[in-house]
């Protein structure tokens, strides 16, 4: 794989494509609406009802698929249909600013319901019926929410001198086949004159009155009032001013859904990009919560249990949990393609889009079927049973291609997964991945990691600048789909952005713990030499996942994100988790500190910092890292003012920069590798008895000398990394410029600035002693302070307890010889402690060919994080 070529950026959706040709539902029948888009659909036990832009409602026989009747009366497009099963009523709303109520047995009109202010309400986009409250809710173009309670009796006209007989709406009238109203009371005694139903032909120039005999529905093709199917309208109703919430949204109310439970709740979706939840227990809906979806207008809503699915204008479905009032997932159906309708069968979600495609999504948010349903826009959908059988299901879809399609669908079979993620056993994962480039079919974590790994986000290469940016964008969307509020934070021109994502835990009266998880999405280069598989293709082999960044640090990032999403789905995330993921850790984190300070208010207060960016000391014993060395990286340059020379011609006559560099480097240590910089060891913290006992224990576990561990972890050191020369680099050239890269590793309690000053001063003094005519230049390019955790801290105890609960082993307390610049910086900036949970094994080859991570470690690492969050919430740990 060429490092210079940018790889394709994967689609950001975490939903796997698990469909096959056999998974596409069978098209049972097509119904043709002549020259009219199908805007709305509903179904009863016997009929399919389709509302169209031609102002009519077509009634189709569900068994024979024949046109049974056409319900006429609306003078505008039929925008919404709602079936009330227990009353056998059909509600229809229209662009004519009326709601009409029809009998689904006699296929006749019963009521005309006028909204408050009538036509000032505008188009009536949505309807929702509550069986328990016997109330119809209406979503209006003028942004008002209106409702009518059918438990109240019909009031007679106020102009009547003696109140006529009327019927309570809980006992609607019945009709004989001849159209006679039963009981024998005139319909005109219970309604007012209607401008459409009671109008005369225009040429008669007569005002409307209740005797016009124009209040009809012609059934089975009847064309005159003399027909035996001439049915009178029962009455005209008006929504009172008391049943109106003005400006319920700041946009049109496009969709609504009712949640019937212990308390009836109404969810409304609007062009203002919000979903509002209303408590309807009392007669007047009370706003309980507002979900900010921020992905375009909400065009479709469905609900199941305590979960609402909101279909957005730009192809996103927001999954909202009602109990915790949190976003638990985002499904990317197809970016930029509006979702106009959705239907639900048990845990299966069907989405209908403006490009004519229909998709089915499982409880784990995987796409299990996708097909071109219509040649135009899919505008409406509904689910219905067939032949009264619960397992004989039909998905009905309508489009602007003038067709209604009836699809044979099935309820999802019994599942072993728990919403929303299926927990696959480690053995099963290992079996699936052994010797195959396959991923588990139902595991969000490994699937997301495969996409993350495929982006070659090499921060040290200018060829991969765009890949780094795309990795940040992908990760932002990934965290968003898993339930976080996300954004990108700039770090300066030419630098890779930070990814900020916040998982908000369950609402609580008292402050919740807030944990910041730090990681990095950038990786080091991965030349193909030495790799047994493509470094940017996640490959499963014998229980391990291989790929650049899989253990450092993309694997741990995805594991922690999935842990938060898992707790969200179980309504068990009782803290706030803030992701702060940078893109230049492998280059020394330039711009990181400035960006954090600039956006500190957006990040918020933090109680503890969690890091997972290292490996165990061995293979089989879990560890917790509690210390890191700091580092000073510098470049030394010695040069003269001459060009490169030929050694055969000029050798022996010039002071060669290479000789000076060798002599200068030799002054940095003595024969025992002791650093000669004055005062270098003065502030090194002495080893305690407790540390000696710990190193002895670790020596027994690792079979390494305790002194070796101590020198790697808690003692400072100096390293010479490289020498570079100018010129063609052949054996006859005297280079005019020589560069050397040198680093110091520092430990508690060495002061970073003091060490830098002492090193530069010593090098300058040593070079002067050479009395060379050449020039020395020192560039300190990168620094990081040391970090030491607090082993007596309750946060550390909560993490240690979590590791022991999951692994069944007490974790080893270890330190690292390497450095992570951002950890000590974040501690100082947020004034709280950091914790470091390594997930990988010592053989994971971080920064080397064949980098890998064990599936066991990845899954148990996720489980440890979940347990840690639960422990923190249970103990209510706060540092503020």
Residue range 725-732: average pLDDT?
A: 88
Q: What is the pLDDT of residue 561?
A: 97
Q: How far apart are CA 487 and CA 497, in angstroms?
A: 10
Give yes or no for residue 255 having a pLDDT over 60: yes
Q: Nearest CA to 560 among 692, 672, 448? A: 448
Is there a contact between 304 and 347 (Cβ–Cβ < 8 Å)?
Answer: yes
Give yes or no for residue 464 having a pLDDT over 70: yes
Judged by DSSP in three states, 557 sits in helix
Is there a contact between 108 and 90 (Cβ–Cβ < 8 Å)?
Answer: no
The pLDDT tens digits for 466-486 are 899 999 999 999 999 999 999
Cα Rg of the chain (Å, integer): 36
Q: What are phi and psi of 136, to 5 degrees?
A: -105, 130
Residue range 2-11: average pLDDT?
A: 57
Q: What is the pLDDT of residue 389?
A: 58
Report the share of the chain in percent with pLDDT over 90. 70
Look at the block and give the residue holding tokens 């765009």.
466
- What b/e readout covers 576-597, taking b as 16+ CB neighbours within 10 angstroms? bbbbbbbbbbbbbbbbbbebbe
Q: What is the mean pLDDT of the chain?
A: 86
Q: Nearest CA to 256 among 358, 149, 129, 396? A: 129
Q: What is the pLDDT of residue 336?
A: 92
**Strand locations in 198-263, DSSP E?**
235-238, 244-245, 253-259
Q: How far apart are CA 633 and CA 631, in angstroms?
A: 6
Confidence of residue 427 (pLDDT cuts 50, 70, 90): very low
Is there a contact between 418 and 395 (Cβ–Cβ < 8 Å)?
Answer: no
Q: How far apart are CA 270 and CA 403, in angstroms?
A: 27
Q: How far apart are CA 366 and CA 877, in angstroms?
A: 36
Q: What is the pLDDT of residue 282?
A: 83
Lowest mean pLDDT among 34-43, 186-195, 430-439, 589-598: 430-439
Report the share of the chain in percent with pLDDT over 70. 86
Pairing of strands 608-611, 265-270: unpaired
DSSP annotation of 459 reads T
CB atoms within 10 A of CB 159: 6
What is the reported pTM? 0.77
Residue range 438-454: average pLDDT?
A: 76
The pLDDT tens digits for 499-523 are 999 999 988 778 999 999 999 999 9
Give yes or no for residue 434 having a pLDDT over 50: no
Which tokens go with 78? Answer: 């039929």
Give yes or no for residue 226 having a pLDDT over 50: no
Q: How far apart are CA 822 and CA 827, in angstroms?
A: 9
Map out the domains of the chain with their CATH numbers. 59-342 (2.130.10.10), 426-629+787-875 (3.40.630.10), 630-681+716-784 (3.30.70.360)
**Strand locations in 260-325, DSSP E?**
265-270, 274-279, 286-292, 298-304, 307-312, 316-321
Q: What is the pLDDT of residue 707?
A: 87
Is there a contact between 38 and 378 (Cβ–Cβ < 8 Å)?
Answer: no
DSSP annotation of 565 reads H
Residue range 208-216: average pLDDT?
A: 53
Q: What is the pLDDT of residue 20?
A: 78
Q: What is the pLDDT of residue 676?
A: 97
Is there a contact between 127 and 81 (Cβ–Cβ < 8 Å)?
Answer: yes
Which tokens go with 232? Answer: 């009178």
Helix ranges, 145-297 (H)? none
Is there a contact between 31 and 401 (Cβ–Cβ < 8 Å)?
Answer: no
Q: How far apart are CA 647 and CA 656, in angstroms?
A: 10
C-alpha distances out from residue 156 to 101, 161, 179, 216, 242, Å:
19, 11, 22, 21, 19
Give yes or no for residue 404 having a pLDDT over 90: yes
The pLDDT tens digits for 113-158 are 999 987 789 999 999 999 999 999 999 999 999 999 998 876 543 3
Confidence of residue 202 (pLDDT cuts 50, 70, 90): low
Look at the block and give the residue holding tokens 């209604």.
404
The pLDDT tens digits for 317-361 are 999 988 788 888 899 999 999 999 999 998 899 999 999 999 999
Confidence of residue 210 (pLDDT cuts 50, 70, 90): low
Q: What are phi and psi of 626, to 5 degrees?
A: -125, 10
Pairing of strands 775-784, 630-639: antiparallel
Q: How far apart are CA 45 and CA 385, in angstroms?
A: 7
Is there a contact between 214 and 72 (Cβ–Cβ < 8 Å)?
Answer: no
Helix ranges, 494-618 (H)? 554-569, 592-598, 600-603
Give yes or no for residue 170 having a pLDDT over 80: no
Give yes or no for residue 836 having a pLDDT over 90: yes
Q: How far apart are CA 526 and CA 2, in angstroms?
A: 10
Q: What is the pLDDT of residue 209?
A: 65
The pLDDT tens digits for 257-312 are 999 988 899 999 999 999 999 999 887 999 999 999 988 999 999 999 889 999 99
List active site positions: 522, 585
The pLDDT tens digits for 67-77 are 999 999 999 99
Q: What is the pLDDT of residue 300?
A: 98
Three-state SS for 574-601 is: CCEEEEEEECCHHHCCCCHHHHHHHCHH
Residue range 750-754: average pLDDT?
A: 96
The pLDDT tens digits for 551-597 are 999 999 999 999 999 999 899 999 999 999 999 999 989 999 999 99
End-to-end CA distance of the chain: 49
Is there a contact between 784 and 746 (Cβ–Cβ < 8 Å)?
Answer: no
């Amino acid at each position: 794989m060429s490092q210079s070529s940018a790889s394709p950026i994967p689609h950001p959706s975490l939903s796997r494509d698990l469909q096959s040709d056999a998974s596409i539902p069978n098209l049972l029948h097509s119904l043709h609406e002549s020259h009219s888009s199908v805007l709305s659909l509903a179904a009863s036990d016997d009929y399919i009802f389709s509302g169209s832009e031609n102002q009519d409602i077509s009634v189709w026989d569900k068994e024979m698929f024949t046109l049974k009747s056409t319900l006429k009366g609306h003078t505008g497009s039929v925008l919404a249909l709602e079936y009330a099963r227990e009353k056998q009523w059909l509600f229809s709303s229209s662009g004519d600013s009326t709601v009409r109520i029809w009998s689904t047995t006699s296929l006749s009109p019963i009521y005309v319901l006028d909204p408050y202010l009538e036509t000032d309400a505008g188009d009536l986009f949505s309807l929702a019926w509550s069986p328990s409250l016997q109330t119809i809710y209406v979503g209006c173009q003028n942004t008002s929410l209106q409702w009518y309670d059918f438990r109240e009796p019909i009031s007679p006209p106020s102009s009547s001198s003696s109140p006529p007989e009327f019927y309570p709406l809980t006992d609607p009238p019945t009709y004989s086949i001849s159209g006679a109203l039963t009981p024998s009371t005139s319909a005109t005694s219970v309604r007012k004159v209607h401008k459409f139903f009671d109008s005369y032909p225009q040429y008669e120039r007569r005002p409307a009155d209740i005797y016009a005999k124009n209040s009809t529905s012609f059934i089975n093709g009847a064309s005159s009032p003399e027909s035996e199917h001439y049915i009178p309208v029962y009455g005209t109703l008006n929504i009172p001013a008391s049943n109106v919430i003005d400006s319920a949204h700041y946009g049109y109310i496009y969709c609504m859904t009712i949640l019937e439970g212990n308390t009836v709740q109404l969810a409304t979706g609007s062009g203002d990009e919000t979903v509002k939840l209303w408590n309807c227990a009392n007669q007047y809906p009370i706003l309980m919560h507002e979900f900010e979806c921020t992905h375009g207008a909400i065009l479709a809503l469905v609900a199941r249990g305590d979960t609402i699915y909101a279909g957005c204008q730009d192809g996103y479905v927001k999954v909202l949990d009602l109990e915790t009032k949190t976003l638990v997932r985002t499904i990317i159906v197809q970016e930029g393609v509006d979702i106009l309708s959705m239907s639900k069968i048990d845990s299966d979600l069907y989405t209908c889009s403006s490009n004519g495609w229909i998709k089915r999504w499982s409880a784990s948010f995987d796409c299990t079927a996708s097909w071109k349903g219509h040649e135009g826009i899919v505008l409406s959908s509904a689910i219905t049973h067939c032949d009264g059988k619960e397992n004989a299901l039909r998905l009905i879809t309508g489009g602007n291609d003038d067709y209604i399609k009836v699809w044979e669908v099935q309820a999802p079979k019994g599942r072993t997964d728990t919403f929303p993620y299926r927990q696959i056993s480690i053995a099963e994962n290992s079996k699936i991945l052994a010797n195959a480039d396959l991923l588990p079919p139902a595991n969000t974590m490994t699937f997301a990691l495969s996409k993350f790994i495929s982006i070659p986000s090499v921060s040290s290469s200018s060829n991969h600048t765009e890949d780094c940016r795309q990795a940040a964008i992908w990760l932002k969307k990934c965290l968003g789909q898993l339930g976080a509020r996300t954004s990108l934070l700039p770090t300066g021109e030419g630098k890779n952005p930070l990814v900020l994502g916040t998982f908000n835990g369950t609402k609580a009266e008292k402050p919740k713990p807030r944990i910041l998880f730090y990681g990095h999405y950038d990786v080091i280069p991965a030349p193909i030499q030495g790799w047994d598989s493509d470094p940017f293709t996640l490959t499963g082999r014998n229980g391990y996942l291989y790929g650049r960044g899989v253990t450092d640090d993309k694997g741990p990032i995805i594991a922690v994100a999935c842990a938060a999403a898992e707790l969200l789905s179980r309504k068990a995330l009782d803290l706030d988790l803030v992701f702060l993921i940078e893109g230049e850790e492998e280059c020394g984190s330039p711009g990181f500190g400035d960006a954090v300070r600039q956006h500190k208010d957006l990040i918020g207060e933090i109680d503890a910092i969690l890091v997972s960016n290292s490996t165990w000391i061995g293979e089989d014993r879990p560890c917790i890292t509690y210390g890191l060395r700091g580092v000073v990286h510098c470049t030394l340059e010695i040069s003269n003012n001459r060009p490169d020379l030929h050694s055969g011609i000029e050798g022996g006559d010039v002071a060669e920069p290479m000789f000076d560099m060798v002599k200068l480097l030799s002054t940095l240590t003595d024969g025992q590798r002791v650093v000669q910089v004055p005062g270098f060891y003065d502030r090194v913290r002495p080893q305690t008895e407790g540390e000696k006992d710990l190193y002895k224990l670790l020596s027994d576990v690792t079979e390494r000398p305790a002194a070796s561990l101590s020198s790697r972890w808690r003692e400072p050191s100096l390293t010479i990394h490289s020498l570079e020369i100018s010129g063609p680099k052949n054996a006859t050239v005297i280079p005019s410029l020589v560069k050397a890269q040198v680093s110091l590793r520092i430990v508690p309690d060495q002061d970073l600035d003091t060490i830098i000053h002492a090193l530069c001063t010593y090098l300058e003094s040593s070079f002067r002693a050479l009395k060379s005519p050449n020039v020395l230049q020192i560039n300190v390019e990168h620094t990081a302070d040391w970090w030491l955790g607090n082993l007596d801290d309750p946060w550390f105890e909560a993490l240690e307890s979590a590791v022991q609960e999951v692994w069944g082993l007490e974790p080893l307390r270890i330190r690292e010889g390497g450095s992570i610049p951002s950890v000590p910086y974040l501690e100082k900036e947020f004034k709280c402690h950091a914790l470091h949970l390594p997930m990988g094994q010592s053989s994971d080859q971080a920064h080397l060919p064949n980098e890998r991570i064990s599936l066991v470690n990845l899954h148990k690492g996720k489980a440890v994080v979940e347990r840690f969050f639960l422990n923190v919430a249970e103990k209510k740990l706060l540092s503020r």
